[in-house]
Amino acid sequence: MLLFSNEALPGQKEKQNFSWITFAVSELAYFFNRSNSSSQLEFLVVHRDKGTPLEGVDATLFEESYDYRQRTTTKKEIGHSKTGSDGLVRFASRQNSFSLRLEKNGDILSFSDRYYAYYAEEEEQEGIETHFFLDRAIYRPGQTIYFKGLVTSGKPRRGGVKILSNRKVTVTFKDVNNQEVATLGLTTNAYGSFQGSFTAPQGSLLGEMSLHSSLGDSWKSFLVEEYKRPRFEVMLEPMEGQPKLNDEVVVKGKAVMFAGNPVDGAKVAYRVVRETRFPWWPWWRGIAPFSPSMEIAQGETVTNALGVFSISFNALADPKVDKDQLPEFQFRVYADVVDVTGETHSAERLANLGYVSMRASLGASEWQDRSRPEAVRITTQNLDGQPVSVKGRAQLFALDAPNRLFLKRYWNSPDRPSIPEAAFRKDFPFFAYGKEDDPARWPQKSQVWEGPFDTGLSDSIPAPWANLAPGYYQLVASMEDGQGKRVEISALIKLYDSSEGKLPSGILMWDGFSKETAAPDEDVELWMASSYAPGSVYLEKERDGRILESRWVNVNQWEKHVFRVGEEDRGNIFFHLSYARHNRAFSVSPRLNVPWTNKQLHIEYQTFRDKLLPGQAEEWRLRITGPEGDRVAAELLTAMYDASLDQFSPNNWSLDLFPSDGFASRSWSPQQFSETGGVLYMPHKWPESMEKTYPKLNWFGLMMSESPRMYAAMAFRSNSLEAEDAPAMKRALVDSAAPPPPPPLLEEQQDLFCRPSCA
């Protein structure tokens, strides 16, 4: 315990303010995880400074439960074991909360933190599921609802999905009240599918209805509504080029029938509202300046023979906003289009302009492999997000990075150092004394390359990574926008070499794959490297939520873990790397993508027509092949419907029979590697406060959250008041801008008021 006080405590007659904080001093540290079985809990015990596994550590598990009668928490020992050579210790899982105590050679690590065995792993069950497909998502009463279903069974995560052919299935049509409207008995074909139709009910409640399958308890919802089909839609196009503030800006729009023909001669009413935002405003400067919205233009126009119309306005900046704050002005354009039949549709779009008329960004990977460099992408756009062609120059600088390891603080560094630098570096060798751990503050040592770029010709910058030594670099791209304003962007690059096994300096631990995506029967390398010092890493492989293998790896500069991807790894696999060093713990779970390429079908059109006349007959020809272009037997589902219905409810089809894991199910969680707060005790006697009370109205249980007029009306309608009491209540509750003196109360009216003693 560390105790702080504004004066020495012993011998003091007057009580002083003081605070305290508790902490542990130990070489023991541990990670917590659940093992492959839901009945097991795992702890990984390591050396807090070196990160090596600790053998022979006494581990005691305590169960905690709350006694509601005694109103106390009881704690009892429920397990005891010793860690093995790998630092692991396992206990049976418990339903109540539990805590852990570690001890070795008098070194005790025990905290009041509790853990909960709230999760029980469930084995993936083999289930049946029906996948519904509808010809549209909204119907009118009396229209025919065409549907198709596909019945599958198996375990999707294990790739064991199969179709169910020649199976009886009952499809039930239910209305908005979930009441049965009709049923249909069907049988799946050789491809596991079935199809049928229902008629949307007439004269009943409209809304969301559904189809239900007897196989897999699956269902599909849709809408049954009375609606007027829209005939056309309105679109506003983004601005092109680099328009300037305070100049005339043109926003083009188009009104097109859903059949494809333009809407000619339609009236367009528009207005433009200016709004101000500050995208470059730093958080530490507080709230950005306020600039109210303002309508700067309005008017009318008409569409031409192609359905096109133009809205022109002066993009006036707010003169009250300082240019140096780099504001962006959003001109919100509203357009209402009315055709000759009176049908109206609207569109809205933001047109962004600023004193800097373009945005630029570098799509560079922070880690670049010198032996296999990736292209550095550069993107230049106007403020509306449209690409613009820009010429500029790129420069690459080698940074003068400190040749040492920095650990992240648990708290922010002070504005003013209170410890001399020599003493600080001696006591805290892995912390930055100032800002020397911030790459943005590292000075440029030398320029190693310079070259031009033109985004109109190429979207990449050809930096010569192969000729550079591993280290830290800064790539700077400079250009000018259409107004001659200089725009400069930069990116930090950490250059390594996988072929020679070299990293930049000051890296405690780094990991990567030789390839991000792999296929079965391919060899993949998992890289674990350090440019600081040799260290121990606990490595695990996970698939389908199960740990398949685990072992300790001694990482000395560069280690390769080579493994072959199997067919069972489809759906992605994960590797868990857990390690500790210098009172810091780390746990990462890189993912290797192994897609279901063996399940992919390739569809190509051999004949296709995208425009037809009404009533015209047409035939489309398609070719379906397997992953390697081989022949496959397949059933194809197609549908055609009015695209205007998507304005009410879009009709989307999706089928994902072989899902992929995006996140790991298992991971080691470091324990007791974080900052902790203290307790402030102020034993002062606060002065007694005086509470004043006044006579008040007896509201008979009514809440005082609304206006007195409303409660006055409620009180007059209440049967609990006698008729002769109502005038007095009315006089008491009347709105009084200039209140007259209150009349004397009759004796029978005294119960309307209550002294504080009876409130």
What is the structure's pLDDT at 717?
46
What distance in Å separates the CA atoms of residue 224 and residue 734, rounded to the nearest whole number?
52
What is the structure's pLDDT at 76?
85
What is the structure's pLDDT at 158?
64
Would you say 62 and 56 are in contact if contact means Cβ atoms under 8 Å apart?
Answer: no
The beta-strand segments (E) located in 260-343 are 267-277, 294-302, 308-314, 328-338
Give bridge partners of residue 222 from the DSSP assignment.
Answer: 209
What is the structure's pLDDT at 754?
43
Would you say 57 and 89 are in contact if contact means Cβ atoms under 8 Å apart?
Answer: yes
Structure tokens at 177: 């009240």
- 506: exposed, middle or buried (Cβ count in 10 Å: 0-12, 13-18, 19+): middle
The beta-strand segments (E) located in 259-399 are 267-277, 294-302, 308-314, 328-338, 344-354, 358-363, 367-369, 376-382, 391-399
What is the structure's pLDDT at 560?
93
Collapsed DSSP state (helix, strand, coil) of residue 221: strand
What distance in Å separates the CA atoms of residue 389 and residue 380, rounded to the nearest whole number?
7
* pTM: predicted TM-score of the whole model, two decimal places: 0.80
Collapsed DSSP state (helix, strand, coil) of residue 440: helix
Give bridge partners of residue 512 from the DSSP assignment.
Answer: 527
The DSSP-derived string for 465-507 is: GGGS-SEEEEEEEEEE-TTS-EEEEEEEEEEEBTTTTB--TT-
Please name the residues in contact with 160: beta carbons below 8 A apart, sequence gap of 6 or more: 126, 154
What distance in Å separates the CA atoms of residue 19 and residue 37, rounded to the nearest whole number?
45
Half-sphere exposure of 83 (CA within 13 A, CB side): 27
Please name the residues in contact with 504: beta carbons below 8 A apart, sequence gap of 6 or more: 401, 470, 471, 472, 494, 495, 496, 531
Q: In which residue are the tokens 């990482």 written?
A: 555
What distance in Å separates the CA atoms of residue 97 and residue 62, rounded to the nearest whole number?
9
What is the structure's pLDDT at 82?
95
Collapsed DSSP state (helix, strand, coil) of residue 678: coil
Give bridge partners of residue 184 from the DSSP assignment.
Answer: 171
What is the structure's pLDDT at 345?
95
How many other CB atoms are there within 10 angstroms of residue 165's CB atom?
13
Give bridge partners of residue 236 from the DSSP assignment.
Answer: 253
Distances (CA, A) of 327 to 22, 355, 483, 661: 49, 7, 15, 42
What is the structure's pLDDT at 661?
86
Alpha helices in 224-353 (DSSP H): none
Q: Report which DSSP code applies to 531.
A: S
514 sits in the region (left: phi over 0; alpha: psi -120 to 50; else beta) called alpha
What is the structure's pLDDT at 5?
67
Positive or negative torsion for Cα 318, 321, 323, 329? negative
What distance in Å separates the CA atoms of residue 321 and residue 257, rounded to the nearest whole number?
43
Would you say 335 and 268 are in contact if contact means Cβ atoms under 8 Å apart?
Answer: yes
As averages over each run of 10 residues, the pLDDT of the chain (759 residues) reads 62 66 90 68 93 95 82 84 94 76 93 63 71 95 96 76 93 96 96 96 94 93 94 93 89 92 95 86 69 92 96 91 84 96 94 89 91 92 91 96 91 86 93 91 95 94 91 96 90 95 94 95 96 94 89 93 93 95 94 92 85 82 87 87 89 87 86 81 68 80 54 45 42 42 51 41
What is the structure's pLDDT at 407?
93
What is the structure's pLDDT at 664?
86
Q: What angle do CA 408, 412, 415 make, to 5 degrees?
A: 130
What is the structure's pLDDT at 430?
94
